[in-house]
Amino acid sequence: MPPAPVPSIAFKGVGQVFTTGDGRPVRALEDLSFSTAQHEFVSVLGPSGCGKSTLLRLLSGLIAPTEGVIEINGDPVHGPRDEIGIVFQKPTLLPWLTIAQNVTFPKKHKFGVVTREDRTRAEALLELVGLKDFADRRPDELSGGMQQRAAIARALLLDPEILLMDEPFSALDALTRDEMSFELLRIWAERPKTVLFITHSIPEALLLSDRLIVMTGRPGSVREEIPLPFPRPRSMATLSDPRFNELAAHIRHALFSQPVA
């Protein structure tokens, strides 16, 4: 029997304790364990304060776990990794740069130079996210949804193996949020990545994901893992699948029936 494939991402018994300004310890995560396969789209849901964003900071190497091990392709994470791209809640575009310059900024920041090949790749990514005609605009000339598309293109510039997304559509209005969800599905289908997606939106998680991680209240740990039965490609028909509402009700009960620390 061939050996099992090495997970793209693995959290193994991870705990995280922070110290408040007055010296009190606060346990954010406790015995957190789960893994993802290569190119799997996994969403993490949980009550506010359960440590969802903390696990992204741990995985990106920005902080070290108090307990346990985090691995990427079997290698422990000890600091920032080139194979990770991050999309934040807000686009964080530099207002004095054009959209094309914002997309190429990671290369400028990392290597001090942007090559012709980098600009060509940026053009291709802007076309991928539907912003080809806005490359020379400034961020304040674009809508919120368009700015977040630019942020996704920027995160893809270095062709990361893993894409971390921390509630990237939470600041958008409902219609734009739905549009961006389908846009992300299209982009992910064309440029497959392992995605770890943090969200408070149950419908958003059900539409996008292969599997859901439902977390407990603080200290956060895995309450339930839910593989999703909806075939790909996803469409508006997915939203009317009877299983969609059944799973949404199940997750709401799991989230709202647990005490919040």
Which residues form the domain of 111? 95-159
Query: Would you place residue 258 in the very low, low, confident or very high pLDDT band (cuts 50, 70, 90)?
Result: low
Q: Is 99 part of a structural domain of the chain?
A: yes
Q: Is the pTM of this model over 0.75?
A: yes
Query: Would you place residue 260 in the very low, low, confident or very high pLDDT band (cuts 50, 70, 90)?
Result: very low
Query: Would you place residue 255 in the very low, low, confident or very high pLDDT band (cuts 50, 70, 90)?
Result: confident
Q: Is 90 part of a structural domain of the chain?
A: no
CA distance 189 to 99: 23
Q: Is the pLDDT of residue 259 over 60?
A: no
Q: Is the pLDDT of residue 241 over 60?
A: yes
Q: Is 127 part of a structural domain of the chain?
A: yes
The helix or strand, by DSSP H or E, that contains position 60, with its residue range, turns out to be none
- Checking DSSP bridges between strand 211-215 and strand 41-45, what pairing results, if any? parallel
Q: Is the pLDDT of residue 9 over 80?
A: yes
Q: Is 110 part of a structural domain of the chain?
A: yes
Name the E strands within the chain: 9-19, 25-36, 41-45, 67-72, 75-76, 84-87, 162-166, 194-198, 211-215, 222-227
Start-to-end CA distance of the chain, whole Å, equals 45
Q: Is 183 part of a structural domain of the chain?
A: no
Question: Mean of the per-residue pLDDT values for the chain?
Answer: 92
Check if the beta carbon of residue 9 is closer than 8 Å to that of residue 71.
yes
Q: Is 85 part of a structural domain of the chain?
A: no
Check if the beta carbon of residue 71 is closer than 8 Å to that of residue 10.
yes
What is the count of structural domains for the chain? Answer: 1
Q: Is 13 part of a structural domain of the chain?
A: no
Q: Is 193 part of a structural domain of the chain?
A: no
Residue 85 phi, psi (nearest 5): -115, 150
pLDDT at 261: 47
